Amino acid sequence: MADIPLSPQPLSRIRIVLVSTQHPGNIGAAARAMHNMGLSNLVLVNPRHFPDEQATAMASGAQALLESAQVVQTLDEAVADCAWVVAVSARPRHLGDEPLTPWNMAARAVAMPAPNTVALVFGCERTGLTNEELERCNATTRIDANPEYSSLNLAQAVQVMVYELRKAALPEVPSVALKLGHPWYAPPSAEEMERLYEHLERVLRMTGFLNPDNPRVLMRRLRVLFNRAQPDRNELNMLRGILSSVESPKVRTKRSHKTGTRTHQFEEK
Ligand code: SAH
C-alpha cells in the first residue's frame, strides 16, 4: 500500500474498503457518498469491473476520488497499515462481540489519534463478508433494519456509515449557542421574568381575565408556558410592550407618526 498522507482531520484517516464488489455502479455511488461527506480514502479489493463507465456515471462529481481509488487483490493488503479495522455487516455474528451501533463505531473511529488509519470494510453484494474476512476485523458494526429485510444496497450502507462519521467528526455547533452570543437573544434573568409575571398579573386583573378569588392557577399555568418557551430578551421586551399597550392604549394616528409620538408599537429588530 502507498503511504497515506497524514492529516489532522479525522475523516482523512478513515478508509473505505469495498471487497469483491460486483456492480461497478455501487463503487461509483459509494465514491459519491464519500465525497459528499468529506472522506477521500477508497480502496477496492478485487472488484469485478473497474474502471467502468457505470462507476464513473454514478460517481457524478466524485470522479477525482474514484480515479484516486487504489485497487488491491486481497483484504490483507487493503488494511495492512490500519490500526482499527471494522467489518460493516448486516449479519448477526455467532462469534465475537455484539456489533457496534454506527454512531458508537463513528465516535471511536474519529477519536483514533493520528497517524493511525481506520478501515471500514464492506462485503460483496451477493454474499456479504466471508467468515475469513470477518476474522481480519477488530470489530463489527451493523445498521439496524427491518429484521425481515435487513440487507441494504452496498452504496446506501456506505452512505449511512460516512454520514455517521461526518456527524461524529464535526464539532457540534448548536444554533442556540450562536443565537445566545447576540445581546437580543440573551436569556432574561429570573428577576426579569418575575417582573414579566407581575406585569402580566396586573394587566390580567385589570382586564378581568384573571379571577381575583383564585389567581394562583392561571399564573402557575402561565409560568409553565413561559418556562417551556424560554423567551429571549427581545421577546420579553415585546411581551412587556404588549402589556403596556393594554394598560394604556394609544391610537396610532397619522399625526402621531409624523410627530414621532411614542407608541407601544413593536419595532422589529
Ligand atoms: N447478502 C449479503 C448482503 C450484502 S449487502 C449478506 O447477507 O450479508 C453488501 C454489503 O453492504 C454488506 O456486506 C455490508 O457491508 C453492507 N450492508 C448492507 N446492509 C447492511 C446492514 N444492515 N448493516 C451493515 N452493513 C450492511
- Tens of pLDDT, residue by residue over 186-204, are 888 899 999 999 999 999 9
Query: How far is it, in rounded angstroms, from Cα 200 to Cα 129?
Result: 66
Residue that wins the pLDDT comparison between 20 and 236: 20
On the question of pLDDT at 4 being above 60, the answer is no
Q: What pLDDT was estimated at residue 163?
A: 97
User: Which of 154, 162, 165 to probe ligand 1 with, by most ligand atoms within 8 A of CB?
Assistant: 154
Which H or E element spans position 100?
Answer: none
Residue 129 CA: which ligand 1 atom is closest? 13
Ligand 1 binding pocket includes 140 (Cβ within 6 Å): no
Q: What pLDDT was estimated at residue 265?
A: 65
Ligand 1 binding pocket includes 16 (Cβ within 6 Å): no
- Cell representation of residue 222: 402561565
Residue that wins the pLDDT comparison between 136 and 261: 136
Quick one: pLDDT band at residue 182, thresholds 50, 70, 90?
confident
Which H or E element spans position 141?
Answer: strand 139-141
Ligand 1 binding pocket includes 116 (Cβ within 6 Å): no
Checking DSSP bridges between strand 139-141 and strand 82-88, what pairing results, if any? Answer: parallel
Quick one: pLDDT band at residue 117, thresholds 50, 70, 90?
very high
Q: What pLDDT was estimated at residue 263?
A: 56
Query: For residue 19, which of 115, 101, 134 has the smallest C-alpha distance?
Result: 134
Query: Which of 8-22, 159-173, 206-220, 242-256 comes out lowest in average pLDDT?
Result: 242-256
Residue 19 CA, ligand 1 centroid: distance in Å: 11
Ligand 1 binding pocket includes 123 (Cβ within 6 Å): yes
Alpha helices for the chain (secondary structure H): 24-37, 53-59, 63-68, 75-79, 102-111, 131-134, 154-169, 175-180, 190-207, 215-229, 233-247, 254-259
Share above pLDDT 70 across residues of the chain, in percent, rounded to a whole number: 87
Quick one: pLDDT band at residue 250, thresholds 50, 70, 90?
confident
Query: What is the mean pLDDT of the segment spanning 201-216?
Result: 89
Ligand 1 binding pocket includes 125 (Cβ within 6 Å): yes
Ligand 1 binding pocket includes 93 (Cβ within 6 Å): no
Residue 151 CA: which ligand 1 atom is closest? 19
Query: Phi and psi at residue 120, in whole multiples of 5°?
Result: -110, 120
Distances (CA, A) of 179 to 19, 174, 228, 231: 46, 9, 18, 12
Query: How far is it, in rounded angstroms, from Cα 186 to Cα 181?
Result: 7
Helix (H, G, I), strand (E, B) or coil at 248: coil
Number of helices followed by number of strands (H, E) in the chain: 12, 6
Residue 86 CA, ligand 1 centroid: distance in Å: 13
Q: What pLDDT was estimated at residue 116?
A: 94
On the question of pLDDT at 259 being above 60, the answer is no
Chain-wide mean pLDDT for the chain?
Answer: 88
On the question of pLDDT at 98 being above 60, the answer is yes
Query: How far is it, in rounded angstroms, from Cα 229 to Cα 135?
Result: 53
Residue 154 CA, ligand 1 centroid: distance in Å: 6
Query: What is the mean pLDDT of the segment spanning 62-89?
Result: 98
Query: How far is it, in rounded angstroms, from Cα 173 to Cα 110?
Result: 17
On the question of pLDDT at 17 being above 50, the answer is yes
Q: Answer yes or no: are the C-beta atoms of 53 and 25 closer than 8 Å.
A: no
Q: What pLDDT was estimated at residue 1?
A: 47
Which residue puts its alpha carbon closest to atom 25 of ligand 1?
89
On the question of pLDDT at 269 being above 90, the answer is no
Query: How far is it, in rounded angstroms, from Cα 255 to Cα 269?
Result: 24
